Structure 1
Amino acid sequence: MKTLRLLLLPFGLLYWCIVSVRNLFYNMGIFKSYSFTTPIIVVGNLSTGGTGKSPQTEYLIDLLSNDYAVATLSRGYKRKSTGFVLADATTNADSIGDEPYQFYKKFPNIRVAVDADRKNGIENLLQLSPKPEVLLLDDAYQHRRVKAGFYILLTAYDDLYADDYVLPAGNLREGSSGAKRASVIIVTKCPPNLSGEEQDAIAKKLNPTPEQKLYFSYIAYDDRVYNTTNSIPLKELNGNSKIIVAGIAKPKPFFQHVKQVGDVCLTYPDHHYFAEKELKELAVIATNKVIITTEKDYMRLVGKLPDDRLFYLPIKSTFINNGNNFNTTILNYVAQSTANR
């Protein structure tokens, strides 16, 4: 694999040049960026995925939605629709994508929309009544056509952008210098007991600017699994053979947390669309067994497998330290932007 990446370095250099020129044109104003008076927070990364954008977006929804009318806007990756789509009672994962559908089902008090053209999506959301007071843009760090007021850059603990290369030699969508646009940087998926010394070493490697704040978070798993009608303590399922299904970018931690002796783990590509043949095979494999999957995968599987045997395990983003400081930073940005508006 390392040899292949070395061979791809010349193509990575070409890709880096193209992206760098694009960013330069936006910085110089040759390519136009559009600003809005409504507070806009972007959650994104430099890499191609697997940094925990969805749980971080849900963290922001929890933080803000009690005091503000919140709307999320995503691209709607792998959806079967086009253009601007606002989630409603007829929506499913096919029409808006699994992650936006998860937001919609989990937070009924917010607006959820998808549009590959973020500017168009924002304009459509701001025409709604009542108008959203805060917009959360999921996976829009490279969408320079919209200039947000606050940028949250995520990088995974075991795959820091400082250790990676641009595509196709590595997994970065743009060079690590793109991190300078971030308001805050969060190192995600850390061990919960990450020491201060390790945090300092990572901070030295990432080298944030004096204006940027650096945080560390981990993924906390729920102690129960859920479906549309029921929930079961996860520990009650230990000792019973289970089928564990994951179609996410980095499923290893999920498998390690859930798997017990005798369980069968099935891995699929990220955002995988389960064909009818695969669903039938899953149903046969899971005969008289419980299927446990991620919340994102559940959005694509619900209604397609027996509901009494299909469960998902929720996760949430949790800060190792300084979480209150992060909350205050976000709340202050939104309050100040709202007052200025």
Structure 2
Amino acid sequence: MVLVSAMAEVELKKEETANISLEFGTNGCNTSLLERFLIQLISENKCNYTAILAYISCILSIALNFSIFVIIVSDKTLRKKGNNVFTGSLALSDSFFSVAVIVLVSISKPGRDEVFLYTFTACLTFAIISIQTIGVVAIERLLVIVIFPFRRINTPKKMLLVCFCIWGFTISFSSVLLIAHKHDELGFIMSVWDVVILVNVYVSYALIYWSVKNHEKKVSDHRTQEINISKKLLKTFLIICVTCTVCWMPIITLTILEHFGKIDCNKNAYTHIFIISFNLALAYSIANPIVYGFRIHELRNAIGERFTSLWTLSVRQ
């Protein structure tokens, strides 16, 4: 009886999966890229690489970002610097984004039930908070280095207020769209806003590099040693801009093109491109701790001290 019941349950699952594919028409034009991606996530295959890769990326992201957030919050020296407030906010938003993705992957259904909508909205919300924080970091660097170089405008309290504004505005905006049943437009609106933010990042860092480069030329006329600050800045800025572009522009581009009907829905290749783009966006939450966190000298020292103390404590026990 148990064997018969188990076989019946397996057959029922296969029938449900088949009905899902028929309902959404994976080869037709009545499904979005997101819905086709969800069908891939709930596949009954033993090796569902899409879901496995998403889980691995999210777990690694949570471990890295949450560690950085805890260290910044618990270290007084790190808290005294305003730019570290942005680093902590970025780490927290990336952690929440990864948690939301894990929940989304775990409960994914190719239907628009309330749980899915809330979770998907949370994913988009934390993602845009992360990208907005990166944009604000670029503006903060521009103000401090170029526009107001002799004023201390990036105090921890001011930066914390800016972070609260970013979180409050984004969560409120997403909630309004969700309540107004405009969730289908949420991805498109935020994709366009992401493009604006990324352009701001490119322009801000270009202005900073241009300003520092010109200053170096003036100073080098009176010094025998060459100053290479601009080269270091260029390397850092290229890493930030290239990482942003590679990880986010594919999924942003697909979302915008699909909104305007520029994607051939009969080609399954777009589904695979969307899956790759989704995993690139997840990879960005792993890259952020490396680009913005571990490159900070004080933070690296704090992390080293923590691991040393934990290792010493474990050895003594």
Provide the TM-score with structure 2 as the length reference.
0.25
Q: Which structure carries more helix by proportion? A: 2
Larger Rg: 2
